[in-house]
Amino acid sequence: MTELDYSKLGLKVGLELHQQLNTSHKLFCNCDTSLGETFHGSFERYLRPSFSELGEVDVAALFEWQKGKKYVYRLPKNSCLVECDEEPPHPINDEALAIVIAIAQALHSTIVDEVYVMRKIVIDGSNTTGFQRTAIIGLGGYIDVEGERIGIQTIALEEDAARKISESRDEVVYNLDRLGVPLIEISTAPDIHTPEQAEKVAFAIGQLLRMTGKVKRGIGTIRQDLNVSIQGGVKTEIKGVQRLELIPEIVRNEARRQYELLKIRDELKKRGVSKELILQNYKPMDLTHVFKDTNSRLVKKELEKGSLVYGVKIPKFKGIFGWELMKNRRFGTEVADYVRVLAGLGGIFHSDELPNYGISKDEVNEVKKALNMAEEDAFVLVVGDVQKLQLAFDTIRDRVIQALEGVPKETRAALDDGTTRFMRPQPGSARMYPETDIPPRRIDNKILEIAKLFIPESPEVKLKKFIQYGLSKELATAILNSPRIDLFEELVSKY
């Protein structure tokens, strides 16, 4: 695929950087912030969504609840009744608050007069309470990166989530060691317009954080989320980017995905496909008899378990399921992701990829005949039990209809190859409500004086200082850009 012209596409990228703070104890209790694998007990819990102040239920929370999973929590040495949600949270950690104020000041942000902790509904099991505690500390601000001014929207202090150990179809197991570790969240404005610039901005903010000497290091201590859109598309949230060098590739792939989805929308419009046409023809049919003697090991294995094979005709969709959206991912892959996440099945087969996977040409022709298909039509096959098949075909119908609109609003997960997959619907404003167990904290002179100790020097000042130590400009620049800059300064100070 050729590189897109991002200026013509109207690419906009915003970053959300989450960085663990290196404090003596957690945000709302006195447990230390180290990680551990030694457990002294566990407990189980089911979580459910709650109504917002306006009586609404957040769509993302409802989605997680419908999975019906059980959550198992392992108790390490550095957890207490606060993590178990059996004791009210303690007052907010002043050390963490001072560090965030210092970073907000370095980013030219306006510090709030009083800190109010909010609850953000999260019922994927990553927090025992069913919500995450978060507080806005700074509003506005900016950072200059290679002559470009990137706006800062908000700076927040929040508790980190529990650490996932394992997951199966019915339950998820978490370690509570990470739950409650102080976390700074910095959200930029959508002022980034190229994939490379996104990486440079993330690096510059990460460098600023490291210069405080008060952030943790290592895999999992810093996570980047991306908000990406192009003209005509929608803001898509991509969660969990842990490697800085992956950011440009993920931005490129998301821009490409939205670009191709808009092309699919236009192609379907040109073919005269409408919602009414899809619904008129949308009649899932039992096709198990077609595959009773199949050579497909995958299908045969499921049939031996008592599963059924159902298929449905999608009018005038020939070639659409095989349409490449990004490297190794097609429109059919997108639909399969929805089926996996929302219906709990392994995926789909579609006519643009068959015959394949042991499914023969004769079986494909039998399916087409049974579904009364025309040359320009497509079909989708799903294997599973009756209850899940119903949910799967409802999901396929909705996603196919969404293709007529272009880009769906969703949250996606970053993958190691720089691509992304569907994760869940995007949450809305209904997920936030006030925390009633923690009193507001006024930003007084005492906390501002503590914050002064953590305000990082600018890169220019640091560079000049390193050269005065006797380093060459090249070596000083290398140390300035190193994730170990705080260790270097600690060793210089000590020796």
Q: What is the radius of gyration, based on Cα positions, of the chain?
A: 26
**Which tokens hold the place of 436?**
């009633």
pLDDT at 420 over 90: yes
The H-assigned helical ranges of 150-235 are: 195-211
Packing angle, helices 485-494 and 195-211, rounded to 10:
30
User: pLDDT (tens digit, 9 = 90+) per residue, 357-394?
Assistant: 999 999 999 999 999 999 999 999 999 998 899 999 99
DSSP state of 29: S
Write down the pLDDT at residue 116.
97
User: What is the pTM (predicted TM-score) of this model?
Assistant: 0.90
User: pLDDT (tens digit, 9 = 90+) per residue, 265-309?
Assistant: 999 999 999 999 999 999 999 999 999 999 999 999 999 999 999
pLDDT at 482 over 90: no
| pLDDT: which is higher, 59 or 436 | 436
**Which tokens hold the place of 271?**
């073919």
Write down the pLDDT at residue 50.
82
Torsion of CA 24, 26, 28, 30, to 10 degrees: -60
DSSP state of 39: E
| φ, ψ of residue 301 in degrees (nearest 5) | -60, -40
User: pLDDT (tens digit, 9 = 90+) per residue, 170-225?
Assistant: 899 999 999 999 999 999 999 999 999 999 999 999 989 988 889 998 777 889 99
- Assess whether the previous peptide bond of 355 is cis (omega < 30° from 0): yes
